[in-house]
Amino acid sequence: MSKIVILGAGISGHVAAAHLRRKLSKEHEVLVVSPNSNYQWIPSNIWVGIGRMKSEEILFPLPPLYKKKNIGYKQALVTTFHPEGDTESASPFVNIKYVNGEQKGNTEKVTYDYLINATGPKLAFDMTEGLNPGTNKAYSVCTYSHAEHAWHALDDLIQQMKQGKKAKILIGTGHAKSTCQGAAFEYILNVEQELRRHNVRDQAEVIWIANEYQLGDFGMDGVLLSYGDNIMKSSEMVEMVFEDRGIKWILGAGVNKIEDGIAHYETLDGEYKSETYDFAMLIPAFSGHGFKAFGKNNEDITEKLFKGFMLVDADYTAKPYEEWSVQDWPETYQNPSYKNIFAPGIAFAPPHAISKPRVRKNGTSISPAPPRTGMPSGITAKLVADNIIDTINGKKDLHHKGSLGNMGAACIASAGYGMTKGSGVSITTYPIVPDYNKYPDTQGRKLGKTFGEIGLAGHWLKLALHYAFIYKAKMKPFWWLIPE
């Protein structure tokens, strides 16, 4: 009998738990530890942020589902890692702290045979002075509660605009190293459409601010894609959409301070500038959770497990951009020091960025961190689950592999909500991390598998995925037939 402990119940943690439970017999224990008792379908947060969906439509409580499916659950957060056990026992364990219910505040030692760290990122608002959702007129859509808050503020502003107020709306990244430009891209297009729906578009100046060097970088160094019969860069596609929608842009901007209605930023040119706004939605930097790990004699071994995020089978050798290789990226998400620990999804430390790093003369790096989206999170979680199952069943090697350099991803970006008026920018990318050796003439990507489409069908597709993935997450009949 084996005990598999999964830290986190987001896309990655939940996918791993679901597949492990489905494929392992009942003698094996699957236990999820997560401070949030709700599962949320994060890609739909942007629709909560424009008031077109309620939070209840994108989340559901996990404890009843886990009870029904025989998956253990503790509403707690992990505090320390002890992969060698301690002086009392050689069994590896994590310390957890309950965050709710009668046990709130209590700590517990949870032992494991296999550990899946799917704790995702810490939303590091504190890395930008003054950036805190709901203060200084700046908001976030990173969680459903943040998105609800953003909608209330945006709705207030729209009502004021209906009374004649002119407004400036700033959307993008709130730190020089932020990622997740895609979510901000979706949000700015949805907000712009809602302004038109409320007949106040003429009174609003809508501005995109980002740490990208070019539009459409998305933390992936941009993509060269097929668009109809043409081949175009993602920068050209996004520029076309922004110009057509009257959205202005500020690029190469490292936002470093937020005051009430003012975003201060530094540029790659070395200038310090600021932009005023009446409503802002700025994506923060993502960071690791600052976990500590201890050895058998309570010595600090954090560097064997973490480099911000968790260390896995990547090549972390520091090297210049020109020497970066697709082979640097991990394949099995297994920690090299402790073979029974894995970190799929967003929890693993990337070997380096994907976008070309750009640094100011004073040393400030202003360029996007690698994107961390739902699809690779689900795929990597499933392959980790499959490798653990194989190991339990006696296989010695890890056969299931999934490098971001040999994996496709689809980004169905909503560009406006509505069954007849909605729109979407659908982009697929293969591979996510460009392979310049394999595809030297197409900027590291395979054309045909890397394509873009704009139109109403994109909105329908995103809506269909919303319902399909919530169905899958609820583990309803034949849920496993829906791919990650």
Residue among 406, 443, 447, 479 that touches other proteins (CB under 8 A): 406
Enumerate helices (H) and strands (E) in the chain, giving the number of each: 9, 28
Burial class (CB in 10 A: 0-12, 13-18, 19+), 164: exposed
Q: Is 240 in the site for other proteins (CB under 8 A)?
A: yes
Q: Is 254 in the site for other proteins (CB under 8 A)?
A: no
Distances (CA, A) of 172 to 81, 107, 179, 376: 35, 39, 10, 23
* CA atoms of 233 and 225, how far apart (whole Å): 6
Q: Is 402 in the site for other proteins (CB under 8 A)?
A: yes
Query: What mask, x for binding other proteins by CB under 8 A, covers residues 191 to 230?
Result: ----------------------------------------
Question: How close are the terminal C-alpha atoms of the chain, in Å?
Answer: 28
| Stretch of 6-14, 24-32, 241-249, 353-361 lying at the interface with other proteins (CB under 8 A) | 241-249
Size of the site for other proteins (CB under 8 A): 45
Rounded to 10°, the helix 144-162/181-197 angle is 30
Q: Is 417 in the site for other proteins (CB under 8 A)?
A: no
* CA atoms of 36 and 42, how far apart (whole Å): 13
| Interaction residues for other proteins, span 312-341 (CB under 8 A) | 326-327, 329, 331
Q: Is 454 in the site for other proteins (CB under 8 A)?
A: yes
Token readout for 333 is 């998400």
Q: Which is nearer to other proteins, 261 or 455 (CB)?
A: 455
* CA atoms of 394 and 123, how far apart (whole Å): 39
DSSP string, 252-277: SEEEEEEETTEEEEEETTS-EEEEE-
Q: How far is the CB of 114 from other proteins (least distance, A)?
A: 21
384-423 exposure pattern, b = at least 16 Cβ within 10 A, e = fewer: bbbbbbebbeeeeebebebbbbbbbbebbbbbbbeeeebb
Q: How far is the CB of 178 from other proteins (least distance, A)?
A: 26
Q: How far is the CB of 95 from other proteins (least distance, A)?
A: 34
At residue 155, φ and ψ (nearest 5 deg) are -60, -40
Q: Is 307 in the site for other proteins (CB under 8 A)?
A: no
Q: Which is nearer to other proteins, 395 or 421 (CB)?
A: 421
- Using DSSP's 3-state secondary structure scheme, residue 404 falls into helix
| Stretch of 20-28, 89-97, 360-368, 425-433 lying at the interface with other proteins (CB under 8 A) | 425-433
Residue among 235, 367, 373, 423 that touches other proteins (CB under 8 A): 423
Token readout for 145 is 């509660």
Residue among 77, 262, 447, 456 that touches other proteins (CB under 8 A): 456
| Interaction residues for other proteins, span 357-386 (CB under 8 A) | 375, 379, 383
Q: Is 458 in the site for other proteins (CB under 8 A)?
A: yes
Q: Is 461 in the site for other proteins (CB under 8 A)?
A: yes
Q: Which is nearer to other proteins, 101 or 418 (CB)?
A: 418
Token readout for 390 is 């194989």
Q: Is 460 in the site for other proteins (CB under 8 A)?
A: yes
* CA atoms of 180 and 173, how far apart (whole Å): 8
* CA atoms of 155 and 51, how far apart (whole Å): 8
Q: Which is nearer to other proteins, 266 or 453 (CB)?
A: 453
Q: Is 442 in the site for other proteins (CB under 8 A)?
A: no
Q: How far is the CB of 396 from other proteins (least distance, A)?
A: 17
Residue among 107, 319, 437, 476 that touches other proteins (CB under 8 A): 437
Residue among 430, 439, 445, 473 that touches other proteins (CB under 8 A): 430
* CA atoms of 348 and 333, how far apart (whole Å): 7
Q: Is 408 in the site for other proteins (CB under 8 A)?
A: yes
| Stretch of 33-41, 177-185, 384-392, 435-443 lying at the interface with other proteins (CB under 8 A) | 435-443
CA-CA-CA-CA torsion for 305, 316, 120, 220, nearest 10 degrees? Answer: 180
Q: Which is nearer to other proteins, 29 or 453 (CB)?
A: 453
* CA atoms of 433 and 405, how far apart (whole Å): 5
Residue among 29, 221, 278, 435 that touches other proteins (CB under 8 A): 435
- Chain residues binding other proteins by CB under 8 A are 240-241, 243-246, 326-327, 329, 331, 375, 379, 383, 401-403, 405-410, 412, 420-421, 423, 426, 428, 430, 435, 437-438, 449, 451, 453-458, 460-461, 464, 483-484
